Amino acid sequence: MRMANIPFGTTNWGAVEPTTHKGETGVATWRTRQFGDIRVRMVEYSPGYMSDHWCEKGHILFCVEGELHTDLEDGRSFTLKPGMSYQVADGGEPHRSRTATGAQLFIVD
């Protein structure tokens, strides 16, 4: 990832217009900023959320609140709690997320 031509700025995430994305169950609420090719999001998953697809996009994901379970298509599973993160490359291991209790995430991709 190359970060170029991004002037210094701050983001008040509460002022960023939310968009809602339905999962297989539950909903994800995204607050998104785009900086050139870099997408930065604050994402909230509702309790009971499960992604409706296997994702192959690369991310750096930080768990702010709650608990997130990420399953890889090869059968491995990982749990993030607040203060934990994961990273995966574009075209890397297909993954999908779920949460029983809800989660708030900060994602760069």
102 domain-assigned? yes
| Range(s) of the domain holding residue 73 | 18-108
DSSP E strand stretches across 14-56: 18-22, 27-35, 38-45
Look at residue 10 and tell me if it is in a domain.
Answer: no
We report the CATH number of the domain holding residue 88 as 2.60.120.10
Segment 11-52, tens digit of pLDDT:
999 999 999 999 999 999 999 999 999 999 999 999 999 999
Tell me the pLDDT tens digit for each residue of 52-78.
999 999 999 999 999 999 999 999 999
23/105 Cα distance (integer angstroms): 16
Query: Is residue 36 within 8 Å of residue 6, measured between CB atoms?
Result: yes
Q: Rounded to an integer, what distance in angstroms lies between the CA atom of residue 15 and that of residue 5?
A: 23
